[in-house]
C-alpha cells in the first residue's frame, strides 16, 4: 500500500486548508505520495515546496493512518513554516482555518479524523 502524506501547516492558532476542485472535491491537507527511497517527512517537505512554495519543518503525526482506497493510506503530520507564504498552484483555494471553523463535513473523508485531532490541539 502506498503512503500519501498530508501536512497540517499551523501558524499561530490557524491551520492551512487547500481546496481540491471537482465533483469529488473538498478541503484537504496539502501533500502527496511518498516516493521510493523517501521518508514520510522528506515527502511532506518536497510536496509543500512543489505545491505551495513553502519550506516547512515537519512535526508530530496527528494519529494513525487512514485508508483512502485499497491502494493508498493517508498519514497527516503537523508542520510549521520555516520560510515563505503559501502560493496556490494546484488547488482552487487556500484558506487559514481557526479551530472553530474546522467543520469535518467540509473536508475530504480521509482527512476528517485529522480535522478532529486538530480541533483538540488548536
Interval 85-112 mean pLDDT? 94
Interval 116-121 mean pLDDT? 91
CATH of the domain at 87: 3.90.79.10
CA–CA distance, 62 with 117 (Å, rounded to integer): 6
For residue 64, give the 3-state DSSP assignment.
Answer: coil
pLDDT band of residue 19 (cuts 50, 70, 90) is very high
What pLDDT does 24 receive?
84
Task: Output the average pLDDT for the chain.
Answer: 95
Domain count, the chain: 1
CA–CA distance, 65 with 114 (Å, rounded to integer): 9
φ and ψ of 33, to 5 deg: -75, 145
CA–CA distance, 94 with 90 (Å, rounded to integer): 10
pTM of the model: 0.94
What pLDDT does 80 receive?
97
CA–CA distance, 4 with 21 (Å, rounded to integer): 19
User: 51: domain range?
Assistant: 2-121
Interval 33-41 mean pLDDT? 97
Given a cut of 90, is residue 121 above it in pLDDT?
no
pLDDT band of residue 21 (cuts 50, 70, 90) is confident
Given a cut of 90, is residue 111 above it in pLDDT?
yes
Given a cut of 90, is residue 22 above it in pLDDT?
no
Q: Which helix (H) or strand (E) holds 39?
A: none
Amino acid at each position: 500500500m502506498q503512503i500519501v502524506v498530508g501536512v497540517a501547516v499551523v501558524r499561530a492558532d490557524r491551520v492551512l486548508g487547500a481546496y481540491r476542485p471537482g465533483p469529488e472535491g473538498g478541503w484537504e491537507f496539502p501533500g502527496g505520495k511518498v516516493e521510493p527511497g523517501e521518508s514520510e517527512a522528506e515527502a511532506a517537505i518536497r510536496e509543500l515546496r512543489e505545491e505551495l512554495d513553502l519550506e516547512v519543518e515537519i512535526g508530530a503525526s496527528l494519529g494513525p493512518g487512514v485508508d483512502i482506497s485499497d491502494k493508498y493510506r493517508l498519514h497527516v503530520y503537523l508542520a510549521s513554516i520555516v520560510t515563505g507564504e503559501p502560493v496556490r498552484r494546484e488547488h482552487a483555494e487556500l484558506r487559514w482555518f481557526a479551530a472553530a471553523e474546522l467543520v469535518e463535513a467540509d473536508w475530504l473523508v480521509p482527512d476528517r479524523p485529522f480535522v478532529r485531532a486538530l480541533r483538540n490541539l488548536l
